[in-house]
């Protein structure tokens, strides 16, 4: 007899007619799906509380060791991070220097002058103002010089 009853479900703007048997079936499906999920959640909670009760005294007992081990670990991570940053900045500087020597980029001083061009200007200045003399003879004879 309950199957012939109609139940009214009201929503925002309309009402729906639902048979009693449909309500019973959906309730059973909800219990069949929700029951195991609820029991698994309860079991998980009980296991977590048991682990917490066991590990709390151990954590209090070993906390001084764990604290200093954490400090050492944090220091090591910070050291490796600083080393990585220094390596990246060193590689960046080397790349900048190589591009400057090859003349591919501007130095940033003056109008587009590169290190090579400025070096040529400097050697011309040295040749004009400091001619070859006895002080740099050994360097010139060994293959050095300009």
97 and 114 Cβ atoms separated by less than 8 Å: no
Please state the φ and ψ torsions of residue 9, each to the nearest 5 degrees: -110, 120
Residue 13: per-residue pLDDT: 67
Using one digit for the tens of pLDDT, what is the confidence trace for 23-68? 888 889 999 999 999 999 999 999 999 999 999 998 889 888 999 9
Using one digit for the tens of pLDDT, what is the confidence trace for 69-121? 999 999 999 999 999 999 999 999 998 888 878 766 555 555 555 666 666 77
Please state the φ and ψ torsions of residue 114, each to the nearest 5 degrees: -100, 175
What is the C-alpha separation between 5 and 17, in angstroms, rounded? 10
Q: Dig out the tokens for 87 from the structure.
A: 């390596």
Distances (CA, A) of 42 to 29, 33, 56, 105, 134: 20, 15, 21, 67, 95
CA-based nearest residue to 2, from 21, 30, 25, 15: 21
Instruction: Tally the residues of the chain.
Output: 146
């Amino acid at each position: 007899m309950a199957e012939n009853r109609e139940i009214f479900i009201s929503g925002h703007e309309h009402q729906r007619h639902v048979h009693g048997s449909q309500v019973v079936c959906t309730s059973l499906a909800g219990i069949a799906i929700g029951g195991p999920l609820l029991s698994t959640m309860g079991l998980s909670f009980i296991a977590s509380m048991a682990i917490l009760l066991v590990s709390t005294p151990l954590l209090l007992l070993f906390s001084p060791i764990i604290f200093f081990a954490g400090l050492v670990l944090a220091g090591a991570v910070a050291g490796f991070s600083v080393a990585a940053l220094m390596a990246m900045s060193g590689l960046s500087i080397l790349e900048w220097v190589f591009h400057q020597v090859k003349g591919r980029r501007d130095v940033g001083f003056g109008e587009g002058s590169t290190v090579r061009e400025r070096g040529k200007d400097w050697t011309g200045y040295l040749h004009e103002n400091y001619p070859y003399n006895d002080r740099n003879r050994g360097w010139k004879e060994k293959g050095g010089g300009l």
